[in-house]
Amino acid sequence: MARGRCVFLKDLRCTCAMTDFCILLIQIRSGILNTVFNSNCLKLERPRTGHPLQTAVLLLLSLPNSVDLSHQLAKLQLMEEKMKILVPILHPSQVTTIDVSQLHQDSHTRSVLVRSIHRACQEMGFFQVINHGISKTVTENALGSLSNFFDLPMDQKKLFSSDDISKPVRFVTNSRDFIKLYANPIENWIDLWPHNPTEFRESLGRYAAEVKRLSIDIIGAMVESLGLGPTYLRSSLGQGMQMIVGSRYPRCSSSSSILGISSHTDHSIITIILESTSGVEIMDFADNNAWKSVPATDGTLKVLVGNHLELLSNGLYKSVFHRVVPNPERNRISIGSFLSLPMEEIMEPAVELIDEQHPKRYKASSLDEYIKFLSSKEEKSYIESLKI
């Protein structure tokens, strides 16, 4: 481990990366590697969920140097495959699945689904949708065009690189490649999007338009589940800010280091995720904040509660902490659609949800203020900064 390289334990999300890191520590502590180790370069943070591998790292570093760890090296290497399944996979029965087509049927059928959405938003902060009206052709073309973009030479992709997080089109490469695209109204932004591959604008543009329509329908059911009526935000959402974020996560090989995305919540009202393979893990509020892997099911889209829905609900719904771990066998391509109110329009707790027993718990905020918050590089999370 080179002097001066900082490793943040909370960012070691890939299980095989965690295992490699434990092995590296054992090799260093055992003298197998003749490596200068500067303990000041290692920042350890106790995990919220007590991940066994993270706990193992803390234990390894707490042992005196006199303890011989070399015999543990082979055992740990053999355990690597078993360690990859430490995060349990949610069973289909544990994931609320909403048939969107039934939201447009009779009032009784809709009310049953709305109650299911209410429970999901309270208990887990996410659900998945089927029969959402976006065809397989549209989703496959969008993922395919995005993958083709990431396959372009780096000099072509870096035409869209910028340190300015407010840029309407922005390419970044670090632990993943991603491109952010402003998408509503699409005619204002699409000419700024990449024109290579040639089908990029058409494929991503069509998906963006269809997932925006879906988002407005779903948010209508969500605000109805809060007792606010299905048209509560509809006029603002039509002119709202939609961001499309396309990502490619490299597969997690045995030589992996720090990969994926560490735990976070999204700024949006909701986020809808389309993915080529599984990789999303959510923090389960009801199970002592344990991490759970959400399987990818063909034809489904994942819906995550964002910060602005938590704010609107005055904390009744919680924005879900989630993270992404890469696939050990193949690259993962995903498209996140983030829908919010217009950039400068204020979101605040609904007055209908505030009374003496339920006082206002959040300050008002806008998407514009969120972007300024990011630029400030505050250590506190955005949603925590809004709590009264």
Per-residue 3-state assignment (H helix, E strand, C coil) for 307-320? HHHHHHCCCCCCCC
Using the predicted structure, report yes or no on whether residue 352 has a pLDDT greater than 60: yes
Q: Contact at 8 Å (CB) between 265 and 87?
A: no
Amino acid identity, position 40: N
- Written as six digits, the tokens of 1 are 């481990």
Overall residue count recorded for the chain in this entry: 388
- Sign, CA dihedral 234-238-239-244, equals positive
Question: What is the percentage of the chain residues whose pLDDT exceeds 70?
Answer: 76
pLDDT at 47 over 90: no
Residue 162 backbone dihedrals phi, psi, to 5 degrees: -165, 150
DSSP one-letter code for 193: S
pLDDT of residue 124: 94
Is the omega angle on the peptide bond into residue 197 within 30 degrees of 0, that is, cis? yes
The better pLDDT of the pair 19, 266 is held by 266
pLDDT reported for residue 231: 85
> What mean pLDDT do residues 119-133 have?
96
| pTM for this prediction | 0.79
Query: Looking at residue 58, what is its pLDDT?
Result: 54
Residue 340 in contact with residue 269, Cβ under 8 Å?
yes
Supply the mean pLDDT for the chain.
82
Pairing between strand 332-340 and 270-275? Answer: antiparallel
Question: What are the backbone angles phi and psi of residue 171, rounded to the nearest 5°?
Answer: -105, 135
Question: Please, which residues have CB within 8 angstroms of residue 219's CB and are 6 or more apart in sequence?
Answer: 233, 237, 269, 270, 309, 339
Inform me whether the pLDDT recorded for 309 exceeds 50: yes
How far, in Å, CA of 29 to CA of 11, rounded? 22
The predicted structure's pLDDT at residue 64 = 56
Segment among 11-20, 152-161, 164-173, 286-295 with least mean pLDDT: 11-20
pLDDT of residue 189: 97
If one compares 291 and 80, the residue with the highest pLDDT of the two is 291
Report CA-CA distances (Å) from 31 to 52, 54, 71, 291, 319: 24, 22, 12, 34, 45
Angle between helices 200-225 and 107-123 (to 10 degrees): 90
pLDDT at 345 over 90: yes
- Please state whether beta strands 301-305 and 126-130 pair in parallel, antiparallel, or not at all (unpaired): antiparallel
Alpha helices (H) in the chain, listed in sequence order:
15-30, 52-62, 70-83, 107-123, 136-150, 154-157, 186-189, 200-225, 234-238, 307-312, 367-376, 382-386
Q: What are phi and psi of 201, to 5 degrees?
A: -65, -40
- pLDDT value of residue 16: 44
Identify the residue with better confidence: 79 or 173. 173
- The amino acid sitting at 328 is P
Report helix, strand or coil for 170.
strand
Core vs surface per residue 360-373: b (16+ CB within 10 A) or e: ebbeebbbebbeeb
